Amino acid sequence: MIEDSAGAQVKRKSSIARQGADWKRRQVLIGDVRRSALGPEPNEVKRKALSPLKTVQIDRKPSNVFSSKLFGTLSSSTEQKADVPVRSNSVRASPVGPAALESPVNLRALEGWENDIESSGIENLQAPLTDEDAFGDTQPSNVILSTGLYNRYWVLDVQEAVGPSGTLEKHLKITASKTTQPTETCILKDGWESMVVAVGDIVHLEGECVSGTWVIDRESGFLVLLPDILISSTSIASSIRCMRRGVLGERFKAFEGGSKQMLNGTIVHDIFQKAGMSRDFALEKLHQLADEALMGSSYLKEMYSLKLTQEDMRQEVEEYLSPVSEWADDYLRSSPLEGRKRLMLKLPSEPQKQDAECSVAVTDFVDIEENIWSPRFGLKGKIDLTARVRIHRRGRPWQERVVPLELKTGRESNSIEHRSQVILYNLMSLERRSDAEAGFLLYLKTGNMHPIVSSHMDKRELLKLRNTLAHHLGNSLVQEDGKHPQLAPLPPIISDSMACKYCPQRRNCALYNRCSHISQSPFLEEESQHLREAHLQYFSQWVLLCTLEAVSAESRGGRRSIWLQNTQEKETQGGCVGNLLRTGKVTVMSDNKYVHHFRRQGPELAGAGFNVGDKIVVSGQDVKLFAVAKGYVTEVSRHGVACSLDQNLSKLPGDVVFRLDQDEGEKQLYIHLGNLSKLMENSPESERLRRLVVEFDPPRFIPSLSSVLPQDAKDTVANILKGLNKPQKQAMKKVLLSKDYTLIVGMPGTGKTTTICSLVRILHACGFSVLVTSYTHSAVDNILLKLRRFKVSFLRLGHAHKVHPDIRPFTEEQICARSVHSLPELEQLYNQELVVATTCMGIRHPIFSRRRFDFCIVDEASQISQPVCLGPLFYAKRFVLVGDHQQLAPIVKSPQARALGMDESLFKRLEHHSDAVVQLNVQYRMNSKIMSLSNMLMYGGKLECGSERTANAVLELPGRGALLQELELSVSHTEYLAWVQAVLEPQKPICFLDTNKVPAPELVTKGGISNPTEAFLVHCVVRLLLKAGCHASNIGIIAPYRQQLSSISSLLGDSAFSAVEVNTVDKYQGRDKSVVIVSFVRSHTEGYVGELLKDWRRLNVAVTRAKHKLIMLGCSPTLCHYAPLEKLLKHMEEEAMISFHCVPMTQEVICSSFHGVKNGGCKTNGKIYITSPYQCLQYYLNRCKWSSG
């Protein structure tokens, strides 16, 4: 449950020595310790944190923060008082820094199949901290520090003291060095002392350091707490009156819905921005833009969702057009003119006696929706319009400034929230401009414009507010000794019932409060009185698990690696490519997206890890251009990449060098938490799911098909059933009889996709509406590709560039572009198709605000976490989960979250109701020998071959005989060809090559775990198969570690191998190859047993991907330490499948590498002797001609 803030305070320890145990617990809880880096030494006697007017070249090395943004996680509720204790054992994420190759390697951190998916492996290689490491003479290796404009200081000690004037001060002992010496002092006073700063925090300082002492007071300097937590100006403004709302708003961003007022504001903003870029605010032009906007597909979707008409919105929008046109007449001109409206504006940089009255001219609009990330001040935001203005005072020359122009469509309140947003925009604008002192607040309904000056006091108080919010967001969990972690409490509830009544976070606020067992006010009790204790326990447990996972994900770098790591460092880990120049023209799309083409300067893009559809952030390699645009990859080649972006970058100079980073954003957590919140909603749909999922009510079924099977559909259904086997027919019947849900267990190769396709066809024939969904786009499209063959019509939701090319004509995006120009046409599109398909993450689409389906089918359900899987189920009367919990489980990267049950899918949770389960056990993929491995490991003999043809199928190698004959003539010691014969023998579908005596030791580096010898052997096996006549596209290679995949890929770099697929187990789920080669990698003598190869489910997937030939390589003594592999090896030994016991050779070798060495490295002239079997074979393959078939 969630801890009460009143009882959650922990007594602060004021010295770093006394923080040792807490810090170690914090690190162990995270499970990942980052790499070390040495920042510049702070050896200047007097140093300034560089005023905004100075330009300094910054090296883009990581300037790290120990505590980082945890996607809006929560912290202890702490009033801003000087005597508030600091929670010293809260859990924070540890960011990534530059590699330190000499550091020790943590083998346990390297373990875990989760490294297969997104992690590069390099981020999980550090040894756990010892007390000496963390609290001796050096700082923990995960802290990265620096001085200068983007300084990062590590807080070593926090003391409270009484200053010379008798007021309370807070003294921080800080350092910007890898060692804790030299240290500096930061004195906080005049209100800054009330800020919560803990030992171990990272801070950024603005101001002046004199003789090693910083003074942050009322008149000078700023302290930015946890500066790598970038908080939006909107969140900070919303927290002015309620910090609790600010925290919840960051966590439940997907929860806040739309409204008529919000849609009106968006449309009017759009009209103003387009008029501004064309510099035409004539009333006729504004009406034209309004008409175009009201026909835009994005706005039509919002109108559909809100049940509004185009005429409704036209009336709302037209109220603003005349005031906007009048504003342009007053202000939009080339120079300030006398006699126009005059404003009171006094800039801080101007002389004190300067007259405040002035005239202002807006001469140009520099940018629209300018996106700024400010790691300097811990801020982020999008400025409505960035304008160039000229300011004129009587008797003085005009000044030109670039300022933010914030548009407001609501009541002209000039409220503190509105003014604060402009001040924060000015502050973050210092990342791009040196003269950011003022901005303007424009109320579009009246046309009145208010100048907003950013004084030191305003910035000071807003940064204090931002620091409080960062404290809550940066401290998400608390953990007492020997207990599981808990969610840290939220800030207290305010006493303002009227504000709470209209708060969009009211339900979530009440849920947290009730989970904390705190007495609630009547208006909050109404939000949760319908919930039982079991419901609250489910909610709080899953919010905790999601928070643990977010902490773990953020600890691996997240978005902050964009500014913490320079391009070269990030490229070595993947997920980033730099040295890009924009080429060609920018294509403007109908949805206000801009397609850009980038060309790589230098090495090709191979290995960058980008795929079509990946979310990306575009930055300039110049430090001032962080995150200038976001979007998706649309095309990847060896020399460049194309992207659809939300900004037009042609406004930037043509010589700007860009970098692209994969966007490890926060959306997934928002979806998790949003679904959990919706599950607690007081609605019939949520109540039904709570009953089935939380309370485990048994599913219900009707007694007979006669009531659900229409007479006119019986012949069609009968024809579909003819093509199915008995278990598949049973599945069809079970689904039709269900009133709640059905679970279909699809064992390997049993035709899950075919079953789903047949089910959809039957439901479609019966007139039922069906929502087809899965976690991945590829899984959804595989079903639709089969449906397309049977002429079943459907609507595919989602971005077209993420969808299979053959399905794109059926996407909403392309249909709308072709034929939808009005709300009735959109409604017809949404309602006419019985079958609608999307991913589980696409449930925020407007169609779900009004439409409900008879059935929802979720493919890959056993791989989807419970909160995500719940999402589509809200919108259907009955649901079907298809999966197999004996194969891949949901990906959970946090060890603690996994231990607490986060890898239990909804499929697994509901499976104990056996009445709802149908098993598909007739498979058509593997021959009987390969199938026997899966039966032995997981299924107890239940899996059956669907036909004799499947059972007896073998690999066809037309060139095998000639190849073996050629090998025997070329190799003197033919006894060493026994393993080669086993590899090429079609009648031996399973072959295990034991590398124990080769030898083939593993290699552990900062890059990850690999096995060079196994990689060479895989290379040899592939070349043998190709030489024997196997097509490259029929060969798949699986390895558990990315470093091994990289090693194998580099050996297969020749174009002849381009069709050979090298990937992780997870990427092969649901797919197969004629030949699969598995490299197990691990080979050592220490007896260390990690977690990675203990996973029975992933081993099951690995051995069931091959149809005709399964070749495995590994060191049997090492692999026997893992229970699944021990069982597998024992079975294969009994079946005589171990094929590679190699005798060590005594022949003297010139060098260990035989590439380019005469006779493969043998110290013998003329004949080729075998110094090791794979070297001799490699020499043969290098000198003989071969092809990929």
DSSP string, 909-962: HHTT-GGGEEEE-EESSS-HHHHHHHIIIIITT--EESSHHHHH-----TTHHH
**C-alpha span between 391 and 394 (Å, rounded):** 10
Candidates 869, 839, 867; CA nearest to 774 is: 839
The burial class, CB within 10 Å (0-12 / 13-18 / 19+), for 243 is buried
pLDDT of residue 911: 94
pLDDT of residue 1126: 92
pLDDT of residue 481: 78
**C-alpha span between 875 and 848 (Å, rounded):** 7
Is the torsion defined by CA of 244, 249, 255, 258 positive or negative?
positive
Give whole-number Cα distances, 308 to 312, 319, 517, 553, 1042, in Å. Answer: 6, 17, 41, 40, 51
Q: Where are the beta strands (DSSP E) in 231-275?
A: 231-232
pLDDT of residue 87: 38
* Of 221 and 972, the one with more pLDDT: 221
pLDDT of residue 256: 62
Which of 257-271, 427-441, 1049-1063, 1164-1178 has the least mean pLDDT? 1164-1178
The mean pLDDT of 53-62, rounded to a whole number, is 29
pLDDT of residue 557: 67
pLDDT higher than 50, residue 1184: no
Give 520's pLDDT tier (boundaries 50, 70, 90).
low
Decide: 755 and 720 in contact? Cβ < 8 Å. Answer: no
pLDDT of residue 265: 94
876-883 and 853-858: which strand pairing? parallel
pLDDT of residue 663: 85
pLDDT of residue 1140: 53
pLDDT in tens, 556-585: 767 878 887 888 888 877 788 999 999 999
- Computed over every residue of the chain, the mean pLDDT equals 81
pLDDT higher than 90, residue 318: yes
pLDDT of residue 350: 75
Give 610's pLDDT tier (boundaries 50, 70, 90).
confident
pLDDT of residue 623: 66
CA torsion angle for 235, 236, 240, 245 (degrees, to 10)? 30
pLDDT higher than 90, residue 639: no
Which of 196-205, 748-757, 1089-1098 has the least mean pLDDT? 1089-1098
pLDDT higher than 90, residue 227: yes
Give 1087's pLDDT tier (boundaries 50, 70, 90).
low
The mean pLDDT of 505-523, rounded to a whole number, is 82
Beta bridge partners of 1035: 1075
pLDDT of residue 465: 96
Q: Residue 729: which residues within 8 A CB-CB, separation 6 or more?
A: 721
**Helices marked H in 1037-1122:** 1042-1051, 1065-1068, 1096-1103, 1116-1119
Provide the 8-state DSSP code for 1162: B
The mean pLDDT of 319-333, rounded to a whole number, is 93
pLDDT in tens, 856-866: 999 999 999 99
Scan for tokens 């500014």, then name that residue.
563
pLDDT of residue 340: 66
Buried b (16+ CB within 10 A) or exposed e, 586-598: eeeeeebbbbbbb
pLDDT higher than 60, residue 1183: no
pLDDT of residue 1139: 62
**C-alpha span between 374 and 227 (Å, rounded):** 9
Give one word for 290, left, alpha or beta, with left for phi > 0 and alpha for psi -120 to 50. Answer: alpha
Give 243's pLDDT tier (boundaries 50, 70, 90).
very high
pLDDT higher than 80, residue 39: no
pLDDT of residue 674: 93
The mean pLDDT of 1032-1053, rounded to a whole number, is 90
pLDDT in tens, 125-160: 233 333 333 333 344 445 567 888 888 899 999 999
pLDDT in tens, 407-422: 999 999 989 999 999 9
Cis peptide before 491 (omega within 30 of 0): no
**C-alpha span between 245 and 469 (Å, rounded):** 10
* Of 353 and 873, the one with more pLDDT: 873
Sketch out the chain's domains with CATH numbers: 13-229+470-486 (no CATH), 260-331 (no CATH), 558-663 (2.40.30.270), 684-920 (3.40.50.300), 955-1183 (3.40.50.300)
Which of 674-678, 692-696, 1148-1152 has the least mean pLDDT? 1148-1152
pLDDT higher than 60, residue 175: yes
Scan for tokens 């009143």, then name that residue.
6
Decide: 632 and 662 in contact? Cβ < 8 Å. Answer: no
The mean pLDDT of 177-187, rounded to a whole number, is 87
What are the two backbone dihedrals, phi and then psi, of residue 1027, each rounded to the nearest 5 degrees?
Answer: -65, -35
pLDDT of residue 38: 26
pLDDT of residue 588: 87
First vs last Cα of the chain: how many Å apart?
Answer: 62
pLDDT higher than 80, residue 993: yes
Beta bridge partners of 853: 876
What are the two backbone dihedrals, phi and then psi, of residue 355, each rounded to the nearest 5 degrees?
Answer: -65, 135
pLDDT of residue 383: 94
Looking at the chain, the whole-number percentage of residues with pLDDT higher than 70 is 80
Decide: 1040 and 113 in contact? Cβ < 8 Å. Answer: yes
Query: To 5 degrees, how large is the angle CA 350–CA 354–CA 355?
Result: 130
pLDDT in tens, 871-899: 999 999 999 999 999 999 998 989 999 99
Q: Which two tokens stand for residue 462?
A: 């807003």
Which of 29-38, 506-515, 557-566 has the least mean pLDDT? 29-38
pLDDT higher than 60, residue 1182: no
Give 255's pLDDT tier (boundaries 50, 70, 90).
low
Candidates 176, 167, 166, 177; CA nearest to 214 is: 176
Q: Which two tokens stand for residue 122?
A: 């390099």
Give whole-number Cα distances, 848 to 416, 763, 817, 879, in Å. Answer: 36, 20, 21, 16
pLDDT in tens, 829-838: 999 999 999 9
Candidates 610, 557, 664; CA nearest to 62 is: 557
pLDDT in tens, 83-120: 333 333 344 433 323 222 223 333 333 333 333 333 33
* Of 851 and 339, the one with more pLDDT: 851
pLDDT higher than 80, residue 684: yes
Amino acid at 90: S
Decide: 854 and 768 in contact? Cβ < 8 Å. Answer: yes
Give residue 1047's Cα distance to chain centre: 26
The mean pLDDT of 672-686, rounded to a whole number, is 95
pLDDT of residue 884: 96
